[in-house]
Amino acid sequence: MYELIEHLKQKQWLWQGSQTPDSQEHYSTGYSLLDQKLEGGFPKHGVIELQTPQAIGELRLLLPHLKQTSQERLSVFIQPPGYLCADQLTAQGIDPNKILLIYPKSEKEALWAAEQCLKSGACSNVLLWQSEIEVHHARRLQVASETGGCLSFLFKHQQKSLFSLPVSLSMTLLPHSMGIEITITKRKGGWPHASFVLDMGALWPTLTVQPKDPVIIPFPLRKQG
């Protein structure tokens, strides 16, 4: 049993919760609460699995990170569910010339494109929308990400599976009136976290529901007779 465990650790298929990565191996997410929960932020390479419905603000979650990391290398969007707005990217401080959009003809071609971009060394982020992905596909993306020093974000619908994917980080996202509800289901070198709400009101006040002031009804004072 000991030999099997050591073999899995050498293959990076088994991680210990006590092996917390150094803080220098992270990018700040741009959200202090999320940085705190992740003990530093997003890893500098690897695959981040985001199990989420579409159009709940999941891309807003990554905009501060993309702004921080898209200065020199490309950020690649592979088969996103919609078209990106160049004006919105510019407003967020992201150079549209550093953004590459790829719309493959099939999911097989999308995986191939993601792997090539990850290991090319020309990209800082690869964002891939994929409905289904096998364990060996995730492992190839993980290796390619480490080879190119690039971070991969994998967007997919939440699915119940007997086996978790070999990724550096896995989070489940749900819509919330104040922003996004996040559950950290898997984290390399750390423990999962129960769900918490990431308040996006400071960055996007028009896209969140601000808490209403409590209604106070004064009662009339009784007359002293």
What would the pLDDT profile of 138-177 be if each residue is shown by its tens digit? 999 999 999 999 999 999 987 766 578 899 999 999 999 9
Residue 15 lies in a domain: no
Residue 20: its pLDDT value, please? 47
Structural tokens at position 168: 């550096």
pTM higher than 0.95 = no
Q: Do 8 and 14 touch, CB atoms closer than 8 A?
A: yes
- Asked if pLDDT for residue 185 goes beyond 90, the answer is yes
- Asked if pLDDT for residue 21 goes beyond 50, the answer is no
Residue 214 lies in a domain: no
Residue 160: its pLDDT value, please? 66
- How many distinct structural domains can be found in the chain? 1
Phi, psi of 87 (to 5 degrees): -65, -40
Q: Supply the range of the domain harboring residue 165.
A: 23-207
Residue 1 lies in a domain: no
- Asked if pLDDT for residue 216 goes beyond 70, the answer is no
Residue 160 lies in a domain: yes
Q: What is the dihedral of CA 191, 133, 53, 187, to 10 degrees?
A: 10
CATH number at residue 107: 3.40.50.300
Residue 177 lies in a domain: yes
Residue 217 lies in a domain: no
